[in-house]
């Protein structure tokens, strides 16, 4: 009868032949922590490219511009704010007409105008919250406001008529 040692019958060594050492599992090289100051790269052969310093400056300028625009909007009276919303929606309508007629237009104007309308409406809602108007009453007031709008030509068409 053959005798088996406990080491040979162990489940840990059952899958590996005798005499072969199994290496310990290692983490992938991109997960290994690096020394401070050493560039962390995903692949050993590639070095981290230096980032252009001017790119972050543009984001700061855009942020400052947005803050300046918000201050300008908050300084407006509510009636002027609502009139600008109506004017911008008219301009958006004209842009959609130009797009459907395949005339020349700046596609970036869509996003710019929509964001401006959203900022104006956000400031309007902030003022309602300050007055203690809840969401449900705000919707009712919004419906009344929309029904009371007298639609006129947007500013760009008014300027063209004045020139003629």
Helix (H) or strand (E) segment spanning residue 91 = helix 78-100
User: What is the rounded average pLDDT of the residues 111-138?
Assistant: 93
What crossing angle do the helices spanning 108-131 and 54-75 adopt, rounded to 10°?
A: 50
Between 53-57, 74-78, 102-106, 116-120, the lowest mean confidence (pLDDT) is in: 53-57
Distance separating alpha carbons of residues 164 and 128, to the nearest angstrom: 41
Indicate the pLDDT class of residue 42, thresholds 50, 70 and 90: low
Q: Say if residue 89's pLDDT is above 70.
A: yes
Evaluate whether 86 touches 149 at the Cβ level (below 8 Å). yes
Instruction: Determine if residue 90 is left, alpha or beta; phi over 0 gives left, psi from -120 to 50 gives alpha, anything else beta.
Output: alpha
Neighbours of 124 (CB within 10 A): 19
Question: pLDDT of 8-22, one tens digit each?
Answer: 555 555 555 665 666
CA distances in angstroms from 74 to 68, 78, 126, listed in the order given: 10, 9, 10
78 pLDDT more than 60 = yes
Q: Given this model, what pLDDT does residue 37 score? A: 54
- Note the pLDDT of residue 110: 92
d(CA 63, CA 72): 14
Q: Which of 126 and 52 is assigned the larger pLDDT?
A: 126
Provide the pLDDT for residue 34.
59
| Mean pLDDT, rounded, of the chain | 78
Amino acid 158: pLDDT: 80
Between CA 24 and CA 33 the distance in angstroms is 18
In degrees, rounded to 5, the angle at the alpha carbon of residue 131 between the alpha carbons of residues 124 and 66 is 30
CB distance 67 to 59 below 8 Å: no
In the predicted structure, residue 88 carries a pLDDT above the cut 70: yes
Domain 68-150 has CATH 1.10.287.310: yes
Is pLDDT of 75 > 90?
A: yes
């Amino acid at each position: 009868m053959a005798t088996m040692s406990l080491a040979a019958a162990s489940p840990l060594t059952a899958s590996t032949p005798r005499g072969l050492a199994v290496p310990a599992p290692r983490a992938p090289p991109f997960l290994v922590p690096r020394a401070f100051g050493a560039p962390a790269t995903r692949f050993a052969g590639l070095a981290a490219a230096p980032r252009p310093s001017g790119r972050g400056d543009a984001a700061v300028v855009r942020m400052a511009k947005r803050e300046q625009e918000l201050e300008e909007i908050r300084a407006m009276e509510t009636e002027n704010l609502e009139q600008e919303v109506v004017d911008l929606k008219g301009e958006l309508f004209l842009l959609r007409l130009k797009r459907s007629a395949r005339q020349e237009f700046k596609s970036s104007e869509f996003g710019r105008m929509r964001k401006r309308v959203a900022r104006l409406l956000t400031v309007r809602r902030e003022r309602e919250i300050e007055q203690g108007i809840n969401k449900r009453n705000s919707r009712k007031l919004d419906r009344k406001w929309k029904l009371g709008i007298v639609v006129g030509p947007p500013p760009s068409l008014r300027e063209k008529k004045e020139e003629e």
